[in-house]
């Protein structure tokens, strides 16, 4: 499944590159047809995914953390609705239901897909926040144990401190720099979370473009879809890179 998705978005990216460099219309048409066939094949393979997403939502309801429970459950429910719309689209494209308004159902499916990704990114942000708080507390304990200064290494008085004219902005910049370094340390120490953030962020461009909320063009959509697909394949090859729960 992941390979088909990667091939589809690779075709999208290739088609954009061929159009940009003035390739023959016949070659461009063949690439578009191949992309369409891959898309239809993926829709066929996703016929049972709505039930799987509902089962995942039922399992997520029992999570102890209320924020994770909400984000993951709502994400799976939106994915179930997305796959259901996708099934209707497949019926229309395959000729089983020729009267289906494909444009309307496509918009619905991408809307549910967007909601699901927003929930996924909200869950990622929540987990990052928890890990940053844990890392910050651990750093503070280590510094106090070694007789260090203030937590995070920020001086609270003296030259350039809050009481010094013009000292507020440099201290704010220092705090921001420390937060960025802490974020980088947390993500470097938790590869599954890093991969999930990058994958969801890449996927976000697809529904934003399809819904007309942010037109980024077929090249960006193809590239983001390809990167996301490769990361998904990577989590299948290396299960420990998959974010849990």
- How many whole angstroms separate alpha carbon 1 and alpha carbon 223? 18
Q: Which residues contact residue 132 at a Cβ distance below 8 angstroms, ignoring those fewer than 6 apart?
A: 179, 182, 183, 186
Instruction: Provide DSSP, the chain.
Output: -HHHHHHHHHHHHHHHHHHHTT--HHHHHHHHHHHHHHHHHHHHHTTTHHHHHHHHHHHHTT-SSHHHHHHHHHHHHHHHHHHHHHHHHHHHHTTSSTT--HHHHHHHHHHHHHHHHHHHHHHHHHHHHHHHHHHHHHHHHHHHHTT-SSGGG---SSTTSTTSTT-HHHHHHHHHHHHHHHHHHHHHH-HHHHHHHHHHHHHHHHHHHHTTSS--HHHHHHHHHHHHHHHHHHHHHSGGGS---
> CA distances (Å), 204 to each of 160, 208, 211, in order?
42, 6, 11
**Distance between CA atoms of 118 and 75, rounded to whole angstroms?**
8
The answer on pLDDT for 233 being more than 90 is yes
Token pair belonging to 189: 């120490």
Least confident of 103-112, 150-159, 203-212, 217-226: 150-159
Selection from 56, 53, 57 nearest residue 79 by Cα: 53
Domain ranges, ordered by start, for the chain: 1-133+184-241
Residue 147: per-residue pLDDT: 62
Q: In this predicted structure, which of 157-161, 167-171, 230-234 has the lowest mean pLDDT?
A: 157-161
CA-to-CA separations, 45 to 50, 94, 97, in angstroms, rounded: 12, 13, 18
pLDDT digits (tens, 9 = 90+) for 118-153: 999 999 999 999 999 999 888 888 888 776 554 444
What average pLDDT does this structure show over 235-242?
94
Mind listing the pLDDT tens digit for each residue in 12-64?
Answer: 999 999 998 888 999 999 999 999 999 999 988 888 899 999 999 999 999 99
Read off the pLDDT of each residue in 85-102 and give the average, rounded to a whole number. 91
Contact 18, 234 (CB under 8 A): no
Tell me what percent of the residues of the chain surpass a pLDDT of 90: 72
Cα–Cα distance, 153 to 217 (Å, whole number): 45
**102-119 burial, b if ≥16 CB within 10 A, otherwise e?**
eeebbebbbbbbbbbbbb
pTM: 0.87
């Amino acid at each position: 499944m992941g390979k088909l998705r990667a091939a589809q978005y690779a075709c999208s990216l290739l088609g954009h590159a061929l159009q940009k460099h003035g390739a023959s219309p016949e070659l461009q048409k063949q690439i578009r047809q191949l992309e369409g066939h891959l898309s239809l094949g993926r829709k066929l393979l996703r016929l049972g995914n709505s039930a799987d997403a509902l089962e995942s939502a039922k399992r997520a309801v029992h999570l102890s953390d209320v924020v994770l429970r909400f984000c993951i459950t709502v994400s799976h429910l939106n994915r179930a609705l997305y796959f259901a719309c996708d099934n209707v689209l497949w019926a229309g494209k395959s000729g089983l239901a020729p009267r289906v308004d494909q444009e309307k159902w496509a918009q619905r499916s991408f809307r549910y897909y967007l909601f699901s990704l927003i929930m996924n990114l909200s869950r990622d942000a929540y987990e990052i926040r928890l890990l940053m708080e844990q890392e910050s507390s651990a750093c503070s304990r280590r510094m106090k144990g070694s007789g260090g200064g203030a937590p995070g290494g920020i001086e609270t008085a003296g030259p350039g401190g809050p009481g010094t004219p013009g000292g507020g902005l440099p201290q704010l910049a220092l705090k921001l720099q420390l937060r960025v370094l802490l974020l980088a340390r947390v993500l470097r120490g938790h590869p599954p979370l890093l991969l999930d953030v990058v994958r969801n962020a890449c996927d976000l461009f697809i529904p934003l473009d399809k819904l007309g909320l942010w037109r980024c063009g077929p090249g960006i959509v193809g590239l983001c879809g390809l990167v996301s697909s490769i990361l998904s394949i990577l989590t299948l090859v290396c299960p420990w890179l998959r974010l849990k729960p």
